[in-house]
Amino acid sequence: MSPVIIRAAQTVIALALLGSIVVQAVILPAIYRDLAGTPPLSRVTFVVLLGLGILALQVFAVCVWRLLSKVREGTVFAEGAFRDVDVITGSLVAIVAVLVTVGVMLAPGGVAPGVVGLIGGAAMVFAGVALLVRVMKGLLRQAIAREREVVGLRTELGEVI
């Protein structure tokens, strides 16, 4: 993969992480203040769920950054990459759980049904991405196995020669 593309992706990730920190520091407290008329437990739960969702996105971004670094270094076809892929999958599942919970919280309230539908749709998209990541993990595992086979064949061929 082109180093320029890797650096561009890492730049986008860095900007997204900075933006997410701003959201945690500025937007979440503003949402908490805007919900002043709601029951305290609902207010706290809603803001905490949003914070957890943002945290899960940050974990996702850091792991993607790490995988991009491994691609740049040529070490992505190693067992260590599986840990990052597993954490990515876990963060996506956490995002789905947050979205479903927020949707369930908003459904009986005064929120437009379309908003709840959009949240449910977003949960489905993230669930689909989590499944896609699992498929990609299987492909990574196959690539590592094939690379080992090729290295083994080269070693045998070197011994024959």
Tokens of 9: 């992706």
Global pTM reads 0.85
Q: Tell me the pLDDT band of 150, cut-offs 50, 70 and 90.
A: confident
Residue of 55, 134, 57, 46 whose CA lies nearest to 92: 57
Residue of 102, 88, 158 whose CA lies nearest to 130: 88
Total residues found in the chain within this entry: 161
pLDDT tens-digit series, residues 29-88: 999 999 998 899 989 999 999 999 999 999 999 999 999 999 998 888 777 888 999 999
Neighbours of 153 (CB within 10 A): 10
Q: Which helix (H) or strand (E) holds 158?
A: helix 113-160
Say whether pLDDT at 25 is over 80.
yes
pLDDT at 131: 97
Taking the C-alpha atoms of residue 66 and residue 76, their distance in angstroms, rounded to an integer, is 9
pLDDT tens-digit series, residues 79-134: 788 899 999 999 999 999 999 999 999 998 878 899 999 999 999 999 999 999 99
Taking the C-alpha atoms of residue 128 and residue 14, their distance in angstroms, rounded to an integer, is 24
Hey, what amino acid is at 125? V
Map residue 112 onto helix, strand or coil: coil
Residue of 144, 145, 148, 125 whose CA lies nearest to 76: 144
Contact residues for 28 (Cβ-Cβ < 8 A; gap 6+): 47, 50, 51, 54
